A and B are shown apart, each in its own frame.
Chain A
Amino acid sequence: MIIIGERINGMFKAVNAAIQERDKATIQDLALKQVAEGADMLDINVGTATEDPVGTMRWLVQTVREVTEVPLSIDSPNLATVKAGLEACSGPKMINSTTGQDEVLNNFLSLAKEYDASIVALCMDEKGVPVDVDGRVEIAMRVIAKAMEFDVPIDKLYIDPIVLPVKADQTGPGKVLESIKQFTMLSEPAPHIVIGLSNLSQGAVERKLINRVFLAMAIGMGLDTAILDPLDTELMDTLITAEMLMNRTIYSDSFLKAYRQR
């Protein structure tokens, strides 16, 4: 399972404050903590409150790079902001994200090729997020074909079926699960499949429980990557256990400990 730490995001109050004050220590601490708890990659998102997203992205990436070499996921819908992040990022990196809309997809895929970056593709296009599974699969297929056209290898492609708040639409999670299952059959080898987990529980009271249960269900369907909070120990225990139950890691009595000693 590839774990992308979600905590360096301007949407969080503390991160936003650190951005405003150019407080490196807070950001670096958050980066190191997430890596220590199992993050394989770190998502870097400037949020919406900054007036200079390009400069902020550059600063965030450089700040995190000073303390860790893990791949960074440059998270912004804005092409210029993503480009700034990619330029500032030495070593492995990811673009998060493109949509399936033709023009956007072309722009971001050529960036991915240029910077040798992985890329997350959201299953949405000019018509928005499809209401059904078929619509998502159709976009995913289009993205895979386009990626091949742009010579972006399939193991650098991450398809995101898009998780919406369960509170807004209770039929959504089931559709995401079915989409994940179908994505695994789209190509050989299959693309990576990623979700932004926290979105599921937006506005709900039992946020952590909802995230945890859904993550286990999604792993059962073939999910292999998630953007989540690695500092949530119970969530991580759930993930590790689901991986073990799916025979992706070898069981030992101390399987939680063994996973964390990787």
Chain B
Amino acid sequence: MTFEDPIEKWSSGVATVTIGATASEGGTRCRKIDIGGATTLPFLTFEGITPNKPVIAMEVLDCMPSDWPETLIKPFADVIGKPGEWAAKCVSQYGAEMICLKLEGIHPDSEDKSPDEAVKVVEEVLKAVDVPLVIWGCDVDEKDNVVLPACSQAAAGERCLIGTAKEDNYKTLVASCMADGHALIAESPLDINIAKQLNVLISEMGFPLNRVVMYPTTGGLGYGIEYAYSIQERGRLAALMGDKMMSPPVVCQIGQEAWNAKEAKATTEEAPHWGPAEDRGIMWEAMTAVMLLQAGSDLLIMRHPKAVAMVKQIIDMLMGKQQATEK
């Protein structure tokens, strides 16, 4: 009788989604990035393989940020409000592997920018950087339905990741992404059943699941991260056990959630007993990211360059071991 290591045997894995198209594929990106593809829980190198390491996309807005604390404004002070330059700085100076362009300026309560204005920003950012692009709407369904198809068309062939499609608002965006060759973010409100149902609906439209990235919505430290974590983890377990409808990789809004917590954005004067604001917010963002990496996040959208650098280092450390043991 031989001893068997108590190792889980998974029958399936996470789907691989490719973002960004190079010149030979009809785009203008310097490289494409694969996310997902793991056949094990995060960083358990002895159980399976993680062919692609988690990727960080840095966030760029199409308008002036309204609620960013000083700590967050500081690294971008010279480029804020200029999306092209902002994106270029993230890539050249802060090593962003991807840019996530958030179209907050199209929100009716913000600057209510028109589709044409949004398209101009998309074109500006595409021109300014050659890394793959995520394009994120404003969360108002009616407005997204007008703006995102225009942006999708403007970026046709670049294989961007565009979102978000929701259970009651997915058809327009699915059709656009299908026509223009983009990948799609499927958003569900911290509800695993809706996440699965949405993927079923999207695939029923003929959209391939290997072009879907799930956004099960993200909690930040201080905002119920445990629940976000357990939803993600359960989804990942289902994917590994062969549930194809739960197999798409996962994207998380780390920066947005972390910097929403009062613990991250309170100034040193407001909360002297919490230590200096400069370090606190950055740590808050980095910790949120590291926790959600453990839950199975494949793409992290982040804000502060120092938090990005920290998390990158941690990802490399966790992945390094795997490279040494991988056959």
Contacts and interface: CB of A to CB of B under 8 A. Distances in A.
A202 B96 CA distance: 66
Interface string A216-257: 000000000000000000000000000000000111111001
Given A149-B1, A151-B1, A155-B9, A254 B197 contact: yes
Contacts of B238: 249-250
Interface in B211-264: 234-235, 238, 242-246
Contacts of A155: 9
A251 to B, nearest CB: 5
A17 interface: no
Contacts, number: 45
A254 B243 CA distance: 13
B196 A261 contact: no
B244 A261 contact: yes
A250 B193 contact: yes
A148 interface: yes
A258 interface: yes
Contact of A250 (B4, B9, B196): B196
Interface string B167-209: 0000000000000000000000000111011001101100000
Contacts of B244: 261-262
Nearest to A149: B1
Interface residues of A, number: 15
Contacts of A249: 238, 243
Contacts of A149: 1
A153 interface: yes
A258 B1 contact: no
B203 A261 contact: yes
Contacts of A258: 196-197, 200, 243, 245
Given A261-B245, A262-B243, A262-B244, A252 B1 contact: no
B2 interface: yes
Contacts of A252: 193-194, 196-197, 200, 245
A254 B200 contact: yes
Given A155-B9, A249-B243, A257 B200 contact: yes
Interface in A71-102: none
A153 B3 CA distance: 10
Contacts of B243: 249-250, 258, 262
Contacts of B235: 250
A148 B1 CA distance: 6
Nearest to B234: A250
Interface string A198-222: 0000000000000000000000000
A261 B200 contact: yes
Nearest to B4: A153
B192 A250 contact: yes
Contacts of B200: 252-254, 257-258, 261
Nearest to B238: A250
A226 to B, nearest CB: 17
A52 to B, nearest CB: 37
A251 B193 CA distance: 5
Contact of B197 (A148, A153, A253, A261): A253
B187 to A, nearest CB: 15
A239 to B, nearest CB: 15
Interface string B1-24: 110100001000000000000000
A148 B4 CA distance: 11
A250 B238 CA distance: 7
B231 to A, nearest CB: 11
Contacts of B196: 250-252, 258
A191 B307 CA distance: 47
A181 B200 CA distance: 34
B242 A262 contact: yes
A149 B1 CA distance: 5
B46 to A, nearest CB: 17
A5 B246 CA distance: 26
Given A149-B1, A249-B238, A250-B243, 4 more contacts: A250-B193, A250-B234, A253-B197, A253-B200
30 contacts: A148-B1, A151-B1, A151-B2, A153-B4, A155-B9, A249-B243, A250-B192, A250-B193, A250-B196, A250-B234, A250-B235, A250-B238, A250-B243, A250-B246, A252-B194, A252-B196, A252-B197, A252-B245, A253-B193, A253-B197, A253-B200, A254-B200, A254-B201, A257-B200, A258-B196, A258-B197, A258-B200, A258-B243, A262-B242, A262-B244
Interface of B: 1-2, 4, 9, 192-194, 196-197, 200-201, 203-204, 234-235, 238, 242-246
Nearest 7 CB-CB pairings of A with B:
A252-B197, A252-B196, A254-B200, A258-B245, A251-B193, A262-B244, A148-B1
